[in-house]
Amino acid sequence: MSQPILQATGVTKRFGALVAVDQVNFHLNQFEVVGILGSNGAGKTTFFNLLTGLFFPTEGSISYKGRDITRMSPPERVALGLTRSFQLTSTFDSLSVVDNLALAYFRASRTPTIASLLFTRTRSFHDHPKIRESIETFDLAAIEHRLVQSLSLGEKRRLEIAMAVLVDPEVLLLDEPLAGLAESEIKGVLGVLRRQIGRQTILIVEHKISHIQDFVQRLVVMHDGRVIAEGGYEECLNHPEVRRSYWQIDPAEDAQHA
């Protein structure tokens, strides 16, 4: 098998005495769709932030396409093709959906400054093929001229993912993209993400397994900073440590019911 596109080896992150991420080994193969699952406080976001470069690990190393990125900044990682949907791709709420897409695209494609871009008017870019394609792919046509501040959470989430995808990342990293969404909006967001399968490698962090069970190809379950199980959905669900830690099923009780 070819080498993983993204790999973490023995990665630990301490905050003072607290070990938020504890000796994690992790890999992502090209075009894989992997989910990191775990209850609140399991260390998912901290691990995610080690991958994106927001934090550096206390110990261990991270490589991207065989290159050591352990101490690279988030923008350096984005430039290499590793991107995340939120935090880095903040939206401008007083601009329209299509203006936000135009800004995201031209910011990524080395247009001098955002100020100069606003000055030349983003409108002239509305018909750019990449922007039209993005509007189509992420079902944004009906809302393209609405201001971002008037969007529902689900609509805004689709825009944020569209903005992340516009820069053509090889790896799309998503930390709880479904958080706070209604069931119908979750379907919408997973629907647009599904269209990226085979074009991008996708890592999605989620704490509710039911949301992603039909979406991911492989699961990594974290608890107390450690990876406690890894593999297919059934395999992880039935793993004794996942039953104990994630589902909080007492093994003794479990035996009684068996």
Ligand X SMILES: Nc1ncnc2c1ncn2[C@@H]1O[C@H](COP(=O)(O)OP(=O)(O)O)[C@@H](O)[C@H]1O
Q: Which two tokens stand for residue 37?
A: 């699952």
Residue 100 as a binder of ligand X (CB under 6 A): the answer is no
Q: Where on the phi/psi map is residue 177: left (φ > 0), alpha (ψ -120 to 50), or beta?
A: alpha
Residue 85 as a binder of Mg ion (CB under 5 A): the answer is no
Residues contacting 78, CB < 8 A, separation 6+: 88, 167, 169
Judged by CB under 5 A, the chain residues 6 through 45 that form the site for Mg ion are 44-45
- Residue among 41 and 60 whose Cβ is closer to Mg ion: 41
Neighbouring C-beta atoms of residue 126, cutoff 10 Å: 17
- Residue among 157 and 223 whose Cβ is closer to ligand X: 223
Q: Interface with ligand X by CB under 6 A: which range of 35-43, 83-91, 114-122, 192-200?
A: 35-43
User: Can you state the percent helix, strand and coil of the chain, rounding each to 5?
Assistant: 40, 25, 35
- Residue among 15 and 247 whose Cβ is closer to ligand X: 15
Order of strands across the sheet with 18-28?
18-28, 6-15, 59-64, 67-68
The item of Mg ion, ligand X, none sharing an interface with residue 134, based on CB under 5 to 8 Å by kind, is: none
- Residue among 86 and 138 whose Cβ is closer to Mg ion: 86
Q: Applying CB under 6 A, which of residues 4, 7, 46, 151 lies at the interface with ligand X? A: 46
Residue 18 as a binder of ligand X (CB under 6 A): the answer is yes
Residue 91 as a binder of Mg ion (CB under 5 A): the answer is no
The residue ranges that bind ligand X (CB under 6 A) are: 15, 18, 20, 38, 40-46
